[in-house]
Amino acid sequence: MTRRGAWSRMTLAVLVLIGLALALDAFWIEPSSLRVTVHEVALKHCAAPLAGMKIAVITDLHAGAPYIDLAKIEHVVEMTNATQPDLVLLAGDIFISSVIGGVVIPPQETVRVLDGLRARLGVYLVFGNHEHNTDMLRLKRLLESTSIQFMDNDVRRIMDGNRPFWLMGLADATSDHPDIAGTLSRVTDDAPIIAFTHTPDVFVQIPPRINLVIAGHTHGGQVMLPIVGRGRVPSAYGRKRFAAGHVVEQTDLFVSTGIGTSHIPIRFRVPPEISLLRLSQAP
């Protein structure tokens, strides 16, 4: 064999090993992992009650999907509680009706584990598009027996000491009707507002009166490739605008990349996360 031929075979072997290592990371190591990622979110309009607040965001859990069994959900609860959040927001697609490559978890089991979540100012939930493929009435009844408050198109005035703020839940824009005007009309004073929903595309309709919107749904594309960028992002506004993280336009939006996977159990450079937001005033 010539020296050139030996180098070619060695190069091919190295490339194959790199490919196998990347596949192992994308299809097993990364999607099976879990972390708490702290995001410092400096708000364009940060009223005093919001400054310093810690919000844990759990979204796109896809209970029963690959790598998301009951033990994993218990781990999510433990890791979230360890952050000692002020609020916990469950931003949809927590439950799913069918699973490719996973095992369906009875919703009462998922609810039982999630009822262990603790936050100083409460635990709140909105439905995502996957909940609309399930028995939603049954899910609502299961939630009624827990400390988790269902918030689709609803508001709560929350007192943090002597400082009030409003929490607004909006129904999912892809599978339901987010009633922004109707829900906002139930806000009766000028205290700041945090809104949360599943799909971030509704953000284009959000007025500046709302200080912060929190969403999920996109999974951050699940894949982030060099040069190419993100994988498929389920948004009418492309793969960048509302894909992930902190977006500042007429007001502030934060999109969590979530925990589970959809369609293909793959994550690459978009690891599963519990997003912990720490709010402050933008300079």
Calpha distance 28→175 (Å, rounded): 31
pLDDT of residue 4: 60
Number of domains in the chain: 1
Model pLDDT, residue 229: 87
pLDDT tens digits for range 148-202 = 999 999 999 999 988 999 999 999 999 999 999 999 999 999 999 999 999 999 9
Residue 10 domain-assigned (yes or no): no
Q: Is residue 22 part of a domain?
A: no
**pLDDT score for 263:** 81
Domain with residue 260: its CATH number is 3.60.21.10
Name, in order, each residue with C-beta under 8 angstroms of 78's C-beta and a sequence gap of 6 or more: none
Decide if 23 is inside a domain: no
The closest alpha carbon to 255, from 275, 272, 238, belongs to 275
Closest CA to 265 of 12, 32, 4: 32
Instruction: With CA atoms as reference, report the closest residue to 256 among 121, 70, 126.
Output: 126
- Is residue 36 a part of any domain in this protein? yes
Q: Fill in the amino acid letter for 222.
A: Q
pLDDT band for position 225 (cuts 50, 70, 90): confident
- Asked if residue 218 belongs to a domain, the reply is yes
Is residue 163 a part of any domain in this protein? yes
Among the ranges given (7-11, 56-60, 273-277), the one the predictor scored with the smallest mean pLDDT:
7-11
Tokens, residue 61: 């859990």
Greater pLDDT, 97 or 139:
139
Q: Residue 278 — very low, low, confident or very high, per pLDDT cuts 50/70/90?
A: very high
For residue 27, report the phi and psi dihedrals to the nearest 5 degrees: -105, -5
65-95 pLDDT per residue, tens: 999 999 999 999 999 999 999 999 999 999 9
**Which domain, by its residues, includes 144?**
31-281
d(CA 61, CA 214): 16
pLDDT band for position 11 (50/70/90)? low
pTM above threshold 0.85: yes
Residue 7 lies in a domain: no
274 is a domain residue: yes
Quickly list DSSP for 199-249.
-GGGGGG--TTS-EEEE--SGGGSBEETTTEE-----TTTTTTTSSEEEES
Q: Cα torsion at 123, 129, 130, 134 (round to 10°)?
A: 90
Tokens coding 218 = 């996109």
- Answer yes or no: is pLDDT of 31 > 70: yes
Phi/psi at 140 (nearest 5 deg)?
-60, -40
